[in-house]
Amino acid sequence: QKEVEQDPGPLSVPEGAIVSLNCTYSNSAFQYFMWYRQYSRKGPELLMYTYSSGNKEDGRFTAQVDKSSKYISLFIRDSQPSDSATYLCAMSEGTGRRALTFGSGTRLQVQP
């Protein structure tokens, strides 16, 4: 079993829809949770960063962490064609090994 599981998609939605992207994980020591957006043939760019449980909002994006269920989500409101990309979740324990563990990514297509 992978340490971080993410549905690969593709997920296709119409413009304006609310998108929900999710990851589950098995390592209860993870404390830092991130979402990256990766356009085709580009490097990942950091979208959202959350520490421990709770919600964080930034414009049309909301990140949720539920540590009790080992489940994180990214919501995109009023989705736009420019949101079409692969979304990667990433996690870190914050101590010890200073590297992130990534999900395999969900490909999102927003249809105009």
Which residues of the shown chain bind another protein in the complex (CB under 8 A)?
A: 6, 8, 31-32, 34, 36, 41-46, 49, 51, 88, 90, 92-105
Q: Kind of pairing, strands 19-25 and 71-76?
A: antiparallel
Residue 84 or residue 103: which is nearer to another protein going by CB? 103
For another protein, the closer CB: 3 or 78: 3
Q: What is the largest CA-CA distance in the chain?
A: 45
Q: Specify the residue, 95 or 112, whose C-beta has the smaller distance to another protein.
A: 95
Rank residues 65 and 88 by Cβ distance to another protein and give the closer one: 88
Q: Which residue has the tokens 């304006």?
A: 16
Among 77, 64, 99, 66, residue whose Cα is nearest residue 16:
77
Q: Which residues 6+ apart lie within 8 Å of 97 measured at CB?
A: none
Taking the complex as a whole, how short is the minimal distance between the CB of residue 36 and another protein, in angstroms? 8
Of 59, 110, 54, give the one whose Cα is nearest residue 82. 110
Q: How far is the CB of 53 from another protein (least distance, A)?
A: 15
